[in-house]
Amino acid sequence: MTTEKSKPAGIQGLWDVSDLEGPSVPAPSATERQSLAKAGERLGFASREPTPPKVAPPKPEKEMTARITIRIRPADKQRVEDYAYRQRKMLGDVMADFLDLAEAREREAEQAKG
């Protein structure tokens, strides 16, 4: 009796798939998955997983509630605004910086007088 004949009926011949057994395709590593995702995205196979909603950073407490109206020279207005833009600061904070500097110079002058 051959091995083939000893198998149960119904899985002989064409339907005997024992020859298809073999090493499995390895699961892609995390790095491979990232590169696969990028390759797929280039062909329009993008991720459809829901992404967590973006949380907006907390707004700073409103502290600049006082208002001052001043008249200054047009050139100085431009300098103040340029400075505030370069420093990415609000005009209220620029004013506070200027006051810090002015008060420091005032203290230095008083110390120099003795």
The residue among 48 and 107 lying less far from another protein, judged by its C-beta, is 48
* Piece in contact with another protein (CB under 8 A), picked from 20-28, 65-73, 74-82, 99-107: 20-28
Q: Residue 36 carries which side chain, given as an amino acid letter?
A: L
When asked if residue 72 is in the footprint of another protein (CB under 8 A), the reply is no
Residue that is written with structure tokens 């991720």 in the block: 47
Interacting positions 30-49 with another protein (CB under 8 A)? 32-33, 35-37, 39-49
The residue among 22 and 114 lying less far from another protein, judged by its C-beta, is 22
| Contact positions vs another protein (CB under 8 A) | 8, 10-11, 14-15, 17, 19-22, 24-25, 27-28, 32-33, 35-37, 39-49
